[in-house]
Structures are given as C-alpha cells and as structure tokens.
Chain A
Amino acid sequence: MKQLTIRSMALVLGLLALAGCAGSVGAQQTAPPPEFKKVSTLVPLADYIPGLGTLFVDPKTLPAGPFLAYNKQGKLVSSVYMIPIKDIDAHKKFEDLGVAKGMVPQRVELYFNAGHPGVPEPHYHVILWYVGEDEEPK
C-alpha cells in the first residue's frame, strides 16, 4: 500500500508538470472543446455527480482522461484523471495526457474509487482543482 502511495505521488507530480505546459486539450473555462462528450451520454452515469460535477471526456482518451468537470454554473472546476490500479501495478506509462489549456491547478486530490460505468475496475481519481474547496461541486 505504501509502495502504491509513492507511485501515485510520482504520478501526480508528473501530471502537475504536464499541467504547466501548453496542452492539446484546449479546454475553455465555460464550455468543453467540441471533441469532448458529456460522460452521461456515453455511459450510464448521472449528469451531475456530487463531489465531481458534470463530466466531459474525449472518448478516445478513456479510461485515463482527462475528464473536464464543470459545476452547476457551467464553470470548469477541475480536470480528473482515472488511473486503473492494475495499470499502476503493471508499471504502465501514461504519456501525452491532455491538460486544460491555460488553467492553473490550486491543489491536487487523489483518492481510490472502486469502479463505475466507463472505468469498471478499481482505480484512482487524480483531481487537479482550479477552484477552492468552497467552490467544489457539492
């Protein structure tokens, strides 16, 4: 478990480094790029997920993402990456993951998820938050 945490931290650092670069996603702060689809139209998930918001993803990037999360006011609040545990265990390399262009993360959250439609296996959510905790989708 400790080993997993260290690996996950390394993963986050890598993603943060990516976030500082000019990316290919070209996300806008109030609307996702056209290649991004609402996740609830791709898999059976609720439109709005408490704690995350409304998610959009370019289907070509599944399962890792990035998923762009918008709050109820339509503001981009985070980018989410979903990394299967089995890929971490297999030392899989993730490269060229997209970023939300021009967005600066204020903090990073990383937590375990048991699975859900779209990523039906244990994985980690790696969240780059662009808003303070008080603006997180409830």
Chain B
Amino acid sequence: MSEEPSRLARRGFLQAGGLLLAGLACPCPSRAAGVVEIRMRSDPQGATVWFDPIGLWIAPGQSVRWVVEANVHTTTAYHPKNADHSLRIPEGAAPWDSGYLVQPGAHFEAMLTVEGVYDFYCMPHEAAGMVGRIVVGHPAGPGTLPFDYFKGRPGTENWQPVPEMAQKAFPSIAAIMAQKVVRCG
C-alpha cells in the first residue's frame, strides 16, 4: 500500500537532486504540467503521515491536485475561515478546505493565482505535523512571517497557534526555491 519511508526518502533525494540540477539551468517555478500533484500518504498503521511532496514552487495560475493514497486526510489552507487557524496564505487569496477525503484515490483541486506563500495542513493530522507549503511565483505574504506574527494584533484573539510539530515540519522557503520540489526525509 505505502512505500517504506527509507525507500521514499532515497527516491525523493534522487528526484530532488535531479530537479536541483534542472533548477540550476532554469531558476523559475515548475511548469512541467498544468496540474501539479501532491500525494497524501501514510504507513499502514497510520503512525506516519505526510504530504508528498511537502514543498512546491509553482507559477501563478497553476493548479494543485491533492490525492489520497492511504488513510483519511484533508487539505486545508491556514486561514481564519478554517477553524480559526492563523492566516498563512496571501491576503487576497481564497482559502480552501477539501473536507475529509476518505477513500484511496479521492482528490481535491485548487488553482492558485495570487503570488505568495501558501501553508496548508491535514485536519486530523496537523498536530502530528502533516503540513505542506507552496510558493506561487515570488514568496510574499503572511506565510513568510514567523508563526506568531499575529500576536497582539486586534481581531486575531481567536486565531489558533500552529502546533509545534507542524512548525517543525514546514520546509523553508529557501529550500523550496532552490529545489522546486521538496520531499520528506
């Protein structure tokens, strides 16, 4: 059902390495396909869960499709409209929430048009660190700021902090810009 993490890590390293070499030739977001796919993965016991890739650099107007490979997941933007989560997508961008995707193969698609950084999470697995980050065009917006940037600002009293495990899991913007595709491991 799922690949061994070590095997995944090895493959991810090779792919990331190849993309890094490609990136040296073309320092621009990936335009390999109109729709970029992110797999929502899990080991058989549900102990380890992750977005694959966890970091992406795409062009404005590209679409992203999240596909369930195993377990139950959501893809949900960090936005106050989603259960008072803090805003970590560009101010002008529309938030998304797939709702629970239960069966393998279930998917959700969103077109990201506003430039900036988009942070997202999986609802049942956020506390375990299942989060992802997409850079659309040039990095900008709240996603570039520290996780506690909103503290003390009026109107943000109900915003939920990003869980510690999730904070640690995000790939850096610099790594995404350098590699275009960042995988776990």
Residue in B44, B102, B130 whose beta carbon sits within 8 Å of that of A114 in the complex: B130
Contact present for A116 and B44 (CB under 8 Å): no
Structural contact, B47 and A113, CB atoms closer than 8 A: yes
Chain A 26-59 per-residue mask, 1 if CB under 8 angstroms from chain B, else 0: 0000000000000000001110001100000000
> CB < 8 Å: which of B45, B102, B124 contacts A115?
B124
Contact of A51 among B45, B123, B125 (CB under 8 A): B45
Interface size class of A (residues with CB under 8 A): 10 to 19
Give the residues in chain B near A51, CB-CB below 8 Å: 44-45
Q: On chain B, which size bracket covers the interface?
A: 20 to 34
Interface string of B62-91 (1 = CB under 8 A from A): 000000000110000000000000000000
Return the chain B residue nearest A112 by Cβ: B47
Q: How far is the CA of A45 from the CA of B68 in the complex (A)?
A: 13
Residue among A46, A111, A117, A122 making CB contact with B128, cutoff 8 Å: A122
Cross-chain contact A45 with B72 (CB below 8 angstroms): yes
Q: Are B46 and A116 in contact (CB under 8 A)?
A: yes
The answer to whether B48 has its CB under 8 Å from any CB of chain A is yes
> Are B49 and A114 touching (Cβ within 8 A)?
yes
